[in-house]
Amino acid sequence: MRIQREGETYEGGLMPRSESGDDLHIVIKLGSGYNIGVKITPTTKVAKIGSGAKPSFIAPERPAGKSGLERVDIISTGGTIASRVDYRTGAVQPALSADDLYSAVPALSEIADIRAHILYSELSENMTPKHWVGMAGKIQEVVKSGTHGVVICHGTDTMAYTSAALSFMLRNLPIPVILVGSQRSSDRPSSDAATNLLGAVAISSKAPFAEVAVAMHDGPSDKTITVHRGTKVRKCHTSGRYAFKSINSPPLAKYDLEKSYLEIVDSNFHGRDPKRSLETKTNFNEKVLLTKFYPGMSSSIFEWAIKEGYSGMVVEGTGLGHVSIRLRDSIKKAIETGMLVGMTSQCLWGRVNMNVYSTGRDLLAIGVIPLEDMLPETALVKVMWALGQTKEPEQAKKLLLTNVAGEISQRTTLDD
């Protein structure tokens, strides 16, 4: 196509409109390989100047399998990383077959024997606890069939919630389960989709640990992928490639893509052992509320939560785990009706300590549970999970204060 607008001329091959496009723009691929969207105004001239080859998709011959390559199962659930592949094949719906993957990232065939599964095609903001349970079921299936590592392709928005949920559900895990996503879609030169996926597959096949983890780019370079423990990770930037950070804990490991070298950062991990038999504990109680305290917050939200029959609540308090004294009576009432109320900090970094000031001690006295250095998001998932494991508030409380999947650090390093 040739597009002329405001004195500028653009020539390139017409591209399928992406999901994020609208009907006011045409997307063309320039000779440089870069895609641009051009806004069509009443004065814009659009002309067909030739017939290019249709976007074609020729799968390279699937390697017979290098000897010694371990089997890795990739389970796609949606998000930018999965739509990358459909973009290349011209499809609008996310799709991820093993052949697609080998074509998109040929280097994958050098590092593992890939089996690919499409479980969901969901944007991650639409994920619910039911999707978490579905993922656990699929993981159980591929683990039983003898895979060496599992990679979950997932949208980045709620990836950390899912990684926490899988961390709690998958007990006695024999192999690593690595979640991976992409912060930049593949039509941008800075896309991290291919390298993140390569890294995740390598890590799931090589790692000596059998934990749920998130593997994402660490910085603007293409060299390193950081592996974050599933309960200690958070998306800390709306758009940056290095949005994912381990909070209140070192990362588990770092993977050097150039040297294919996995450096273990935290040697205190749950080790890989293929003989172990995976158990899944998949009950969640979704009647759990996450609330963030702020000046001027009304106590009526607690009254409402009682009426709505919420079983649990995670409060993001200020500082060491505080809320205004004006809320205390309503929180007390909620606890008296049997609601489990856990305290985390909106600071995110550091540990709650409710013994330092009278505010904290008063909250402890009415039964608020101090959730140590757990991230609020992880705490929310854990309360849902704990209340799915037992209906006894005391047992649930005990479970909350037990380190189930690395969510509670022994101590917090101030320099983190």
Known catalytic residues are 80, 156-157, 235
Which residue in this structure is represented by tokens 């919420």?
310
Q: CB of 349: closest distance to a copy of itself in angstroms?
A: 4
Q: CB of 163: closest distance to a copy of itself in angstroms?
A: 12
- Least Cα distance to 337 among 376, 393, 399, 390 occurs for 393
Bridge pairing between strands 35-39 and 45-47 = unpaired
Q: CB of 288: closest distance to a copy of itself in angstroms?
A: 8
Name the residue nearer to a copy of itself (CB basis): 174 or 230.
230
Detail the DSSP E strand segments found in 154-229: 170-171, 177-180, 212-217, 224-229
Q: CB of 133: closest distance to a copy of itself in angstroms?
A: 11
Q: Which DSSP letter does residue 331 get?
A: H
Q: CB of 213: closest distance to a copy of itself in angstroms?
A: 19
Question: CA 312, 318, 321 angle in degrees (round to 5)?
Answer: 60
Query: What does the chain come to in residues?
Result: 416
Name the residue nearer to a copy of itself (CB basis): 228 or 235.
235
Query: In Å, how far are 169, 364, 381 from 313, measured between CA atoms?
Result: 20, 15, 11
Dihedral sign, Cα of residue 16, residue 21, residue 27, residue 31: negative
Residue 29 to residue 32: CA distance in whole angstroms:
8
* Contact indicator for 236, 217 with CB cutoff of 8 Å: no
